[in-house]
């Protein structure tokens, strides 16, 4: 895979990996398994508030793992409320203990940090807690937290440095705001919180903070969940608002001021409208910034060895074998340009890269149809294309979209959130109604989506989906009856998506609910004019 070069005859290592996250560790262990001499350099630059963590990268320390655990804490709070309807006598008012949750989460993360170090040692991978910077061809400088420098050489290098949260660049943001890098080890309850941003990080954090009983507001510049299916994103926002999370739309902060120091203290946020001169102010205990993440590629000496990056984003363009424009340097994970930013993707890419380099494999990482889940209060699982991307790729006339609302059986006894869970199947009508997008909102959405991801990889069609018998009663069975309603089957429909406004009323009409007249009105005013 490498081109001809004038190189030294020997190196300190076969492979040096910069970054000890999930992808880098996966590549390191796989290369070591192939008998190669491997080093991992990992260094966490402290946040503006001084937060740092151990080996394992974002996912383990300040991402997937603590996020899911805190989401679970919020779900348990709701389950305790629901339990009364199932006969459990919960006499006391349910309260949440932030300190105890943080202690439990950090103890678990600490055990994972230790486990990763043990695994590297067992594989004879050399690990240094040091900051890596290229200083010349095949050479790197490693600087530890005391400033001590060492120089190493390697035949190949792998960049797996990941991303870090972005700041606003306004007065007071780094002095007084926190990011997701700080939240999961925050030594005090954040209290009344303003979450700035509309990313999945913003909505997930807002969701579990509200779920444990905090007063939460989300400030959104434009749309929710950019890059995700907007139909699903809007439903998530609606559900969050219905459950007490406040949204301030089309505003951005322009100044953060401290009113009172403390843990958490008090902050004043001054924000401006994105489409007018209107200025608003609000007072909060904590401001959490979740406006996006930047690739950690600009201060590792890439310019010294000639590795090209996207100057705007910092992302690294690579070949389909994760090779940069410098033949002996590779890159994986969130720093790649136009690739999916997910932990399992980085792990897969790292393993497969090591197998190609050192075990004679030719298998490449497949970045298409990768499933993902957003752990908002109403979980969102997705695989394949959004409706917007499907229209862009195949043309609106060549896709069919099937929908269904559903009510989880577990939620019926507490009479909670009827007609809020939702599934959508997007099909390419020019390719035997092949399923090109799967989307579901509801409990355990990730568990539901995982199996459908394998089916999409195998070329699942709507006919095959319809012929599959579902398990009853579970949420996943909704995919097998999307849009199978007698009223609809008798209509000469060519575009299922026209019926989006109809489905909630139709569902109740079909099941003996009270909204039959509403369905007739919507059908007459919205659907039929589009049909005839």
CA 363 to chain centroid, in Å, comes to: 26
Report the candidate in 192, 10, 212 with the shortest Cα–Cα distance to residue 100: 212
| Neighbouring-strand partners of residue 418 | none
- 279, 326: one domain: no
CA separation for the pair 327, 329 (Å, rounded): 6
* pLDDT tens per residue across span 286-297: 999 999 999 999
* pLDDT tens per residue across span 345-385: 999 999 999 999 999 999 999 999 999 999 999 999 999 99
- 178, 271: one domain: yes
Residue 48, domain extent: 13-165+294-358
Residue 166 has pLDDT above 80, yes or no: yes
User: Does residue 201 have a known ligand-binding role?
Assistant: yes
Residues found in the chain:
532
The catalytic residue positions are 472
pLDDT on residue 480: 72
- 41, 160: one domain: yes
- 30, 43: one domain: yes
CA separation for the pair 441, 270 (Å, rounded): 34
* pLDDT tens per residue across span 385-397: 999 999 999 999 9
In a domain, 40, yes or no: yes
User: Does residue 202 have a known ligand-binding role?
Assistant: yes
CA separation for the pair 152, 163 (Å, rounded): 24
Residues 6+ apart with CB under 8 A from 207: 71, 74, 240, 245, 375, 376, 377
How many domains, the chain?
3
In a domain, 5, yes or no: no
Laid out side by side, the sheet with 421-428 consists of 372-374, 380-384, 434-441, 421-428, 399-406
User: Does residue 22 have a known ligand-binding role?
Assistant: no
Place of tokens 């061809």: 137
CA separation for the pair 385, 350 (Å, rounded): 25
CA separation for the pair 409, 70 (Å, rounded): 24
Residue 518 has pLDDT above 60, yes or no: no
Domain endpoint, select from 241, 274, 291: 291
Share of the chain above pLDDT 90, in %: 84
- 328, 424: one domain: no
* pLDDT tens per residue across span 475-515: 888 887 665 333 343 343 344 444 545 555 554 544 444 44
3-state secondary structure of 112: helix
* pLDDT tens per residue across span 242-274: 999 999 999 999 999 999 999 999 999 999 999
Tokens of residue 176, six digits: 């007084």
* pLDDT tens per residue across span 61-109: 999 999 999 999 999 999 999 999 999 998 878 899 999 999 999 999 9
With 0-12 / 13-18 / 19 or more C-beta atoms within 10 angstroms meaning exposed / middle / buried, residue 10 is: exposed
User: Does residue 292 have a known ligand-binding role?
Assistant: yes
Category of 269 on φ-ψ map: left (φ > 0), alpha (ψ -120 to 50) or beta = beta
* pLDDT tens per residue across span 465-480: 989 998 999 988 888 7
Q: What is the CATH number of the domain that holds 28?
A: 3.50.50.60
| DSSP single-letter state for residue 523 | I
Q: What is the CATH number of the domain that holds 396?
A: 3.30.390.30
Residue 7 has pLDDT above 90, yes or no: no
User: Does residue 197 have a known ligand-binding role?
Assistant: yes
- 223, 210: one domain: yes
Report the candidate in 73, 97, 90, 71 with the shortest Cα–Cα distance to residue 414: 90
pLDDT on residue 57: 97
Q: What is the mean pLDDT of residues 209-218?
A: 98
In a domain, 492, yes or no: no
* pLDDT tens per residue across span 217-242: 999 999 999 999 999 999 999 999 99
Average pLDDT over the chain reads 91
- 22, 147: one domain: yes
- 29, 107: one domain: yes
Alpha helices in 212-331 (DSSP H): 230-242, 302-305
Answer whether the bond into residue 264 is a cis peptide, omega within 30°: yes
């Amino acid at each position: 895979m490498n081109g001809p070069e004038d190189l030294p005859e020997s190196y300190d290592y076969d492979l040096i990996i910069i970054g000890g996250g999930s992808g880098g560790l996966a590549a390191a262990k796989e290369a070591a398994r192939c008998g190669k001499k491997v080093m991992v350099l990992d260094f966490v630059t402290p946040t503006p508030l001084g937060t740092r963590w151990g080996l394992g990268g974002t996912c383990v320390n300040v991402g997937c793992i603590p996020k899911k655990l805190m989401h679970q804490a919020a779900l348990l709070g709701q389950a305790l409320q629901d339990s009364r309807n199932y006969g459990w006598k919960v006499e006391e008012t349910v309260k949440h203990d932030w300190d105890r949750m943080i202690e439990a989460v950090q103890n678990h993360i600490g055990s994972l940090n230790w486990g990763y170090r043990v695994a590297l040692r067992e594989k004879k991978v050399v690990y240094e807690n040091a900051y890596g910077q290229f200083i010349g061809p095949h050479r790197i400088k490693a600087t530890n937290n005391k400033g001590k420098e060492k120089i190493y050489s390697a035949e190949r290098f792998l960049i797996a440095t990941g991303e870090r949260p972005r700041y606003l660049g306004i007065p007071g943001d780094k002095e007084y705001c926190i990011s997701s890098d700080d939240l999961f080890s925050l030594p005090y309850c954040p209290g009344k919180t303003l979450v700035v941003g509309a990313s999945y990080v913003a909505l997930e954090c807002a969701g579990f903070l509200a779920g444990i009983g905090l007063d939460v507001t989300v400030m959104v510049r434009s749309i929710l969940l950019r890059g995700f299916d907007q139909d699903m994103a809007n439903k998530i926002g609606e559900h969050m608002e219905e459950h007490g999370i406040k949204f301030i739309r089309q505003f951005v902060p322009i100044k953060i001021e401290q009113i009172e120091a403390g843990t958490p203290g008090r902050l004043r946020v001054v924000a401006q409208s994105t489409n007018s001169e209107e200025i608003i102010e609000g007072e909060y205990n904590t401001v959490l910034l979740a406006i996006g993440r930047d690739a950690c590629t600009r201060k590792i000496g890439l310019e010294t060895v000639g590795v090209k990056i996207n100057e705007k984003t910092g992302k690294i363009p690579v070949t389909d074998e994760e090779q940069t424009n410098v033949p002996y340097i590779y890159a994986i994970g969130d720093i790649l340009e136009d690739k999916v930013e997910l932990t399992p993707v980085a792990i897969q890419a790292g393993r497969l890269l090591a197998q190609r380099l050192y075990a004679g494999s030719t298998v490449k990482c497949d970045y298409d149809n990768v499933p993902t889940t957003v752990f908002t209060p109403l979980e969102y699982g997705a695989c394949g294309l959004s409706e917007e991307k499907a229209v862009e790729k195949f043309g609106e006339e060549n896709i069919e979209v099937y929908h269904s609302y559903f009510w989880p059986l577990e939620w019926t006894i507490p009479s909670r959130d009827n007609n809020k869970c939702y599934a959508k199947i997007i099909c390419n009508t020019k390719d035997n109604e092949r399923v090109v997008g799967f989307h579901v909102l509801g409990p355990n959405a990730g568990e539901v989506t995982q199996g459908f991801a394998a089916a999409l990889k195998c070329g699942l069609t709507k006919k095959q989906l319809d012929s599959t018998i579902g398990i009853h009663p579970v949420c996943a069975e909704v995919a097998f009856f999307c849009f199978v309603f007698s009223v609809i089957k008798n209509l000469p429909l060519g575009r299922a998506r026209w019926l989006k406004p109809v489905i909630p009323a139709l569902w109740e009409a079909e099941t003996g609910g009270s909204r039959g007249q509403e369905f007739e009105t919507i059908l007459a005013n919205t659907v039929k004019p589009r049909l005839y």
